[in-house]
Amino acid sequence: MDSILVTGGNALHGEIPIAGAKNACLTLMPATLLSEEPITLTNAPRLSDIKTMGALLESLGTEVTSMQDGKVLTMSSHSLDNLTADYDIVRKMRASILVLGPMLARAGQAVVSLPGGCAIGARPVDLHLKAMEALGAQIELRDGYVHAKAPKGLKGATIEFPFVSVGATENALLAATLAKGTTVLKQAAREPEIVDLAECLIAMGAQIDGHGTSTITIAGVDRLHGATHPVVTDRIELGTYMLAPAITGGEVECLGGKIELLAAFCEKLDEAGISIEQTQRGLKVKRTNADIKAINVTTEPFPGFPTDLQAQMMALLCTAKGTSVLEEKIFENRFMHAPELSRMGAQIEVNGGMATVTGVERLKGAPVMATDLRASVSLILAGLAAEGETLVNRVYHLDRGYERVEEKLGNCGAKIERITGQ
């Protein structure tokens, strides 16, 4: 099992290219199931999760071709040979549930394994299933699988989510494109990944209005055609690498970055004393003074502060001057990185969904364990600022969401290397 060894103390200078969004690409890939014609995605991230989704689609009969070192994916679902998404693949990644809506819409039936548990909370799929039922599907849970049928096709409906759910919005949006009549999604998610999915579906011939707002209207069409679509910039990778010069000092330009992708996050960095400049090529980030200022952060659905950047922000605030409070409102159990940061000398007190962080003058390197994707990169960020060596174990989590971390940070002067497991 691989580990990452970080030796702290180096300020970072240079530029980091930001990849296409993992969460967008994982949503865009199942859209191929809606059409007999090929779909090509450019600017795809090169990640293990993308390979897992490709394997799932291939198991359903999709032909998946990877080009340009994985940055271009072409998928053709001219025939759906199999309508069962098997547990052995689905268990590896919760985004696999997103094949449910497209298969129901096009084939009128689908059998999809329940994704199972998750390290950062229960994250149930009941909103996905209720959305499919609202569109006319018959749902039965049996032997750990969702058995869904719509023998006469899906029908448009008004679906009001009880709370904002990105995944349920995506599944309902995918399914509604081929439903008969008009579908209205209320209290829909507004994330850039939702907008990106809608734009791709529109390029395929879907009729969608209101994406990017809390009410999305979809007029169903009889068929969708092929398209080529660029994956939107990964705002979570962007925010992560913006924190690298913030925590170490120095100046880094994140290529492809835009403030509008992370407005709430950028406001908090500014409050902490970090300079952010929009350039023609991306975002230039540097620390404006010697001390990081303590701030308070509350995670919220977009356009609020992203839950997927909470762990990384905590790493920064471990060395801030004063006391910061982070409130997690999206997922339970999402402070599992706190004990690992404490091993490095951080002063963190967790009480339910609140974490109080009292800044220390300097973190100290230590062996630590990654508990999930975002926690893993937060420990790397902490290691960059720590005194001595930090060994981050179980970095298979990291490879699910960040491509070539050692190369990107190393090119800016970080002392970081991967130690390949036996």
Position with higher pLDDT, 88 vs 288:
88
* pLDDT averaged over every residue in the chain: 94
Question: Is residue 332 predicted with pLDDT exceeding 80?
Answer: no
Rounded to whole angstroms, how far apart are CA atoms 75 and 65?
6
Per DSSP bridges, beta strands 323-327 and 296-298 are parallel
Q: What is the pLDDT of residue 146?
A: 93
SS3 314: helix
pLDDT in tens, 213-235: 999 999 999 999 999 999 999 99
Provide the β-strand partners of residue 84: 111
Establish whether domains 3-19+233-419 and 22-230 are of one fold: yes
Percent of the chain with pLDDT over 70: 98
Question: Is residue 119 predicted with pLDDT exceeding 70?
Answer: no
Architecture of the domain whose range is 22-230: Alpha-beta prism (3.65)
Q: How many CB atoms lie within 10 A of CB 111?
A: 19
Q: Are 239 and 276 in contact (CB under 8 A)?
A: no
Q: What is the mean pLDDT of residues 139-157?
A: 94
pLDDT band at 116 (very low <50, low <70, confident <90, very high): low
Q: What is the pLDDT of residue 422?
A: 52
* pTM (2 d.p.): 0.92
In one-letter notation, the amino acid at residue 71 is K
298-323 as b/e: b if 16+ CB within 10 A = bbebbbbbbbbbbbbbbbbbbbbeee
pLDDT in tens, 37-79: 999 999 999 998 999 999 999 999 999 999 999 899 999 999 8
Q: What is the mean pLDDT of residues 268-277?
A: 97
Cα distance from N-terminal residue to C-terminal residue, the chain: 7
Structure tokens at 141: 């849970």
Rounded to whole angstroms, how far apart are CA atoms 381 and 159?
41
Task: Name the H helices within 9-125.
Answer: 22-28, 48-59, 87-90, 100-107
pLDDT in tens, 241-258: 999 999 999 999 999 999
Rounded to whole angstroms, how far apart are CA atoms 366 and 393?
11
Whether the bond between 303 and the residue before it is cis, its omega within 30 degrees of 0, is yes
Question: Is residue 337 predicted with pLDDT exceeding 50?
Answer: yes
Task: Name the nearest CA neighbour of 318 among 263, 249, 364.
Answer: 364
Question: Is residue 152 predicted with pLDDT exceeding 80?
Answer: yes
200 is catalytic: no
Which residues, 6 or more positions from 143, have their beta carbon under 8 angstroms from its beta carbon? none
CA 16 from chain centre, in angstroms, equals 19
Q: Are 197 and 28 in contact (CB under 8 A)?
A: yes
Query: Residue ranges of the domains in the chain?
Result: 3-19+233-419, 22-230
Q: What is the pLDDT of residue 117?
A: 44
| Binding annotation | 22-23, 94, 123-127, 308, 330
| Binding annotation for UDP-N-acetyl-alpha-D-glucosamine | 94, 123-127, 308, 330
Catalytic residue (one of 25, 118, 200, 266): 118
Fold of 3-19+233-419: UDP-n-acetylglucosamine1-carboxyvinyl-transferase; Chain (3.65.10)
Cα-trace Rg, the chain: 22
